Amino acid sequence: MALGGFSFSAQKVAGYGVAAIAGVLVLYPVYFLLEAAFDVGDTQVRPPTAFGVDNFSALLQYPQIMLNTLTVSVAATVMALVFGFVMAWILARTNVPGRRLFEQLMAVPYYLTPLLGALAWSLLGQPESGFINGIWRALGAQSHLIDINTSYGIAWVMALFEGSVAFVMIAALMKSMDPALEEASQVIGASRIRTIMRITLPLVAPGVLGAAIFVFAEMLGSFAVALVLGLPSRYYVITTAIYQMIQQYPPKIQVAAAMGVSLFAVMFVTLYVYRRVVMSGSYVTITGKAFRPRLVDVGRLRYLLLGICVLYLLASVVLPLGTLFFASLQKIAVVFPTAENFTLDNFRMAITMNAVRSALSNSLLLAFGTATIGVVLMGLLAWLIYRGRLPGSGLIEYIVMFPQAVPRLVFAFGLMWAWLIFPIPIYGTLWLLLIAYLTVFLPLGVRTIAGVMLQIDKSLEECAQMCGASWAFRVRTVTIPLLRPGLVAAWLLLFIASVRELGASILLMGPHSKVITPSIVESWFGTSSELTATLALIQTLVVALAIVMLVAVTRRISAQPLD
């Protein structure tokens, strides 16, 4: 009993300790954001001199922007979920040839960054100068074949490069699923499609829903793709409108904050729906009963599935990277260059840029720190919310999801104001970026780990408790080993997300704490698309090398047998 008493205390202390950290990380900057949203005084004076709701009333002036945002976000989310689910099922559940290789390649569009995807597809799909349209015209056509500057073009690129997180989240779920349930369905005569619809889909439903909410929020806050592809067609979404508002003089930061804060409402509704779905059903697939993950033999269908994988990776990896490489070798990127248009100057210039070198090493360092600290913090938070049975866990979930609801471009202002006045001088240093990343990626990490955690039967932990195991011992010997695939996926996701982070970093970078993605955006603004393509390729290469090494390490960890 004494042991049980101690266990309860340790659980409580750890739970509330972690919740307090998350609360400070999120609510502290949110306070400043709310303050700005209601600030109706002099826009250049801080702290605010007057409060009101004028900034929210001003939002009524932007109905077209709201509609554009909704159109693009919904279209991109649907595409991303379809791609994510299909690819996750093919690669995690079937015997498609080369699935291990494809699974690794699936992470590539995610770390290529949306900016690079947008840049590559911009080179490919501009109505006039796009490579695809150039070839199309060379074949005799009078008009263009594709126009990437439309709402569906933007959604397509967003789904390819922002939505690949859906694959990672859904695949992690599918890997943890006992195939006996699907086999039982087929044994009693159900077809493969019926099995997918009646067994697979419902079992992964909370994870898919979680991924849907997460991806939708990502799309709402997506910036780089809409910036590169939307501006040429005067197609503005919330983030690009906010960007304009904060760049101009005098900046409309208060209206931008109100725009960001108003997205809280959208997020709360979706989160409420998610919780209702999760709480109303049982989605446990990992129980005390042992199972060995087995693949579904899809027969000759596997070659068709292989074709789908190849097409997907062609559109999201090969074509964009090939395009960027082709562009990087030219002075002015065109589809049919003359001999004198070829140059290696872009590579020469990129390699000699000191700022890029230091930005790249800062990014890798930050990514490693964010992923490592983040997995511990977010793993504990996920456990606290879904397993802790502590009072207020629902509230903590809402708090954790806050950063997802606001475009990072806006949330960064809250972070800046919050940590600017903090007594410990971290402003302008890498520490601030680390705190910012841990804050803005809380939803990503918690959602990823929670998706797997929901599949673990509570009875396993309860069994250990009945045997007298303390809380810490239970977490170490039961929960963490079972969560291992989810934790590894979360670590990699956080690592990649940190390297590609743009919205918050743009504002929070100091003179000595530059990171790579904003530097590439700067290059796109200020140098040329050819040099930007070169920088993107170099970034991709370096990050790829880092990830290959990290995957090797994490695979070793994952390969250790469950206790």
Partner 1 sequence: MAKLMQGKLTRREVLKAGTAVTALPFLGLAAPSVLAQGVSKSPSRVLDFMTNADVAKAEQEGQLVFYCHENEAGTAGIMEGFSKDFPKIKTSYVRAQTGALYNKILSERSAGRFDVDVIQLSDLAPAFDFQKKGGYEHYVSPESSAYKKEHLSAPNGYFFWTGVDPAGIAYNSEKIAVSDAPKGWKDILDNRWKGRISCKISSSGLQFVQWYMLRKIYGDGFWKEFAKLQPHAFDSRVQLFDRLSKGDDMITAIGEYPAYILFKSRGAKVEFVAPPDGLVATPLVVGAVNKAPHPEASKLFVDWAMSKRGQAWYQSNPNLYYASVRPDAPAMPTGVKLSDFKLLYPSDWNEYASQSAIFLKEWNGMLGL
Give residues in contact with partner 1 (CB under 8 A).
44-46, 62, 64-65, 126-129, 231-234, 236, 241, 244, 246-251, 253, 331-334, 340-341, 353, 355, 416-417, 420-421, 427-428, 506-507, 509-512, 519, 522-529
Q: Is the peptide bond before 48 cis (omega within 30 degrees of 0)?
A: no
3-state secondary structure of 342: strand
C-alpha distances (whole Å) from 17 to each of 14, 22, 387 are: 5, 9, 16
Kindly tell me which of 286 and 506 has the beta carbon lying closer to partner 1. 506
Q: What is the nearest approach in angstroms of partner 1 to the Cβ of residue 510?
A: 7
Q: What is the nearest approach in angstroms of partner 1 to the Cβ of residue 534?
A: 13
Kindly tell me which of 287 and 528 has the beta carbon lying closer to partner 1. 528
* 201-220 helix and 63-93 helix, angle to the nearest 10 degrees: 140
Beta bridge partners of 524: none
Kindly tell me which of 50 and 421 has the beta carbon lying closer to partner 1. 421
Residue appearing with tokens 């206790």? 563
Token pair belonging to 65 = 């922007």
Q: What is the nearest approach in angstroms of partner 1 to the Cβ of residue 340?
A: 7
Distance separating alpha carbons of residues 108 and 492, to the nearest angstrom: 12
Q: What is the nearest approach in angstroms of partner 1 to the Cβ of residue 393?
A: 35
Kindly tell me which of 134 and 451 has the beta carbon lying closer to partner 1. 134
Kindly tell me which of 285 and 519 has the beta carbon lying closer to partner 1. 519
Q: What is the nearest approach in angstroms of partner 1 to the Cβ of residue 511?
A: 4
DSSP string across 8-26: HHHHHHHHHHHHHHHHHHH
Sequence-distant (≥ 6) Cβ neighbours of residue 258 within 8 angstroms: 37, 38, 55, 56, 58, 59
Taking the alpha carbons at both ends of the chain, their separation in whole angstroms is: 26
Kindly report the backbone phi and psi dihedral angles of residue 296, in degrees, each rounded to the nearest multiple of 5, phi listed first: -85, 125
Distance separating alpha carbons of residues 466 and 479, to the nearest angstrom: 15
Q: What is the nearest approach in angstroms of partner 1 to the Cβ of residue 433?
A: 14
Sign of CA dihedral 92, 188, 290, 379: positive
Kindly tell me which of 354 and 560 has the beta carbon lying closer to partner 1. 354
Give the Cβ contact number of residue 265 at 10 Å: 10
Q: What is the nearest approach in angstroms of partner 1 to the Cβ of residue 529?
A: 6
Q: What is the nearest approach in angstroms of partner 1 to the Cβ of residue 437?
A: 19
Kindly tell me which of 420 and 551 has the beta carbon lying closer to partner 1. 420
Kindly report the backbone phi and psi dihedral angles of residue 178, in degrees, each rounded to the nearest multiple of 5, phi listed first: -75, 115
Q: What is the nearest approach in angstroms of partner 1 to the Cβ of residue 234?
A: 5
Kindly tell me which of 108 and 531 has the beta carbon lying closer to partner 1. 531
Distance separating alpha carbons of residues 260 and 38, to the nearest angstrom: 12
Kindly report the backbone phi and psi dihedral angles of residue 299, in degrees, each rounded to the nearest multiple of 5, phi listed first: 65, -140
Kindly tell me which of 450 and 509 has the beta carbon lying closer to partner 1. 509
The three-point CA angle 382-481-215 to 5° equals 40
Radius of gyration of the chain (CA): 24
